Amino acid sequence: MIADALQFFLILALATGLAALVGKAMAHLFTSPAHLALERLTYRVLGVAPDEEMSWRRYGVLLLLSNAAMMTLGYLLLRLQEHLPGDPLARASQPPDQAFNTAASFITNTNWQSYSGEASLSNVSQMVVITFLMTVSAATGIAAAGAFLRGLSRKSAAALGNYWVDLTRVTYRLLLPLCFVVALLLVWQGVPQTLSAEAVVTTLEGQAQHLVVGPVASLEAIKHIGTNGGGFYGMNSAHPFENPTPLTNTLHILGMLLIPAAFTFTLGAMVLRRRQGWAFLGAFTVMFLGFLAVVYTAERGGNPLLAQHGVDQLGSELHAGGNLEGKELRFGIAQTSLFVTVTTAATTGSVDSMHSSLTPLGGLVPLAQMMLNSVFGGDGVGLINLLTYALLTVFLVGMMIGRTPEFLGKKIEAREMKLVMLAVLVHAFSILGFTALACVVPSTVASLSNGGPHAFSEVLYAYTSGTANNGSAFAGFNANTPFFNTTIGLAMLVGRYLTLLPMLAVAGALAAKRVVPQGPGTMATDGPLFTALLVFVVLVVGGLTFLPALALGPIVEHLLMGAGASF
């Protein structure tokens, strides 16, 4: 356990150091007035004026329309795949409901897959549709967060910046350079990167075996740097071509945490309050470590029912101890537990183990993190989600002490709080509403591979993953039906845009406000007390909202497991 704890500490320390460097670069990206030559060429091709300042309404409309156009393009290409050149394996086009689900999934940074990548998509689709949408969806979230930070940093301003400039700069200056470096490292470790569709090898028995290959390393790079999560293969990051070594597993973990953690340093630099950035990083880290401790303890302890059959629960994890079902032995319990926590904290959704095989409490962790949606979170939107709760925290504290709430010197009034609550409630309504609908539809039973509370967890996980734009699956659940493809696709769109747009409106309102000088009753938001209050509010609001649903799934399953029942 000491070695595991040291491993956790070293990876998180390295992630923090890298985040500090990237966060500083991102602050320069969002504040620099200079444009690169390639950027200016892109603006001319798009026909946009890079020096135009946009209100939150114009910024939000352009974000929505550009994403809609790219989603439509992705949908059409997936429907026409069998007619496109470059696929010697002649894979069929996706049906309408699945193409809608896939296009919605990748434009919303969700990357939920109701298909197996190597069986369903050609290399052309993997590059032109999947990798492209992975890049622009991540850039969209980062751009929106940059606009939000401008709203916090500006005084009496009517604009949040230029959407096209932000989208272009994030793509050229941040995502492409980082992904290029990561892809090279992955190729060095054995991840394929080729335009060939398959490799034919001779087995020990002398038979020919056909292995599906393609541009895997480039997809893996943006998959984790962009907190996307969709796999080239159906096994995702458990596949040795996607994740061949413990080093690549560590690189994937660092990639998922990099930009969400870096945004706390970007915030500190842009609002000229570095302590504020550290306070938010502290909130992220406290919640993350708490959830990591739960899943690691649960998986290392394993299933108590095995003790009744003489299995040593305290033995070596490579022998008999702990819960190794659904895990890769090359990663073990420690790295698997860390990956489980990171991929749902950063709403990435890639998996190096089967989440359905986690113990009930281990399975509760990814569910709870996606429900809270503010434990690091995805690229850009994670910080926006935490700021949502930060505004809610200062509002609650202000009401308790009888003062008008303030955040970074700006008064938080009724309009901002209505928009904040809209974002909070839409997230909960989508998860619980779609789950309730699925539970009363008779055809749902045919998609389940388990019974009892585990079956409910499978359905709850699907809509939580979709709404939180995570994309991981509980496994064992057949979501490739017209009903689930359509409703999960809708949940992804609701979870992305009906929470993001209200917060852009909040940013526009804050940008227009003047800074109020601090008084003797002003609550400091950059210290340990505020960090503790913020974590408390996140957990209380999340608990009051989702605890009943969790009680019907993983919590009751854990209690029944202790009583000798299994599912």
Give the mean model confidence (pLDDT) for residues 391-401: 90
This prediction has a pTM of: 0.94
Convert the pLDDT of each residue in 467-509 to its tens digit: 999 999 887 789 999 999 999 999 999 999 999 999 999 999 9
- The pLDDT value recorded for residue 457 is 95
Question: What pLDDT score does 321 carry?
Answer: 62
Give 40-92 pLDDT, tens digit per residue: 999 999 999 999 999 999 999 999 999 999 999 999 999 999 999 888 888 99
Write out pLDDT tens, residues 103-132: 999 999 999 999 988 889 999 999 999 999
**Which of 117-126, 286-295, 368-377 shows the lowest per-residue confidence on average (mean pLDDT)?**
117-126
User: 406-407 and 410-411 as β-strands: parallel, antiparallel, unpaired?
Assistant: antiparallel
Per-residue pLDDT, 310: 60
10 Å CB burial of residue 348 (0-12, 13-18, 19+) is buried
Convert the pLDDT of each residue in 541-562 to its tens digit. Answer: 999 999 999 999 999 999 998 8
CA distances from 67 to 77, 99, 173, 444, 538 (A): 15, 16, 20, 31, 29
pLDDT for 399 equals 84
Model confidence at 320, in pLDDT bands (50, 70, 90)? very low
Between 56-79 and 96-107, two packed helices, what is the crossing angle to 10 degrees? 140
Of residues 100, 127, 134, 136, the one with CA closest to residue 115: 100
- pLDDT for the residue 319: 43
Would the pLDDT of 270 be above 80? yes
Express each pLDDT in 130-156 by its tens digit.
999 999 999 999 999 999 999 999 988
The pLDDT of residue 313 is above 50 = no
Per-residue pLDDT at 307: 65
Mean pLDDT confidence for 445-459: 91
% pLDDT > 90, the chain = 80
- pLDDT confidence tier of residue 538, bands split at 50, 70 and 90: very high
Q: With a cut of 50, say whether residue 316 has pLDDT above it.
A: no
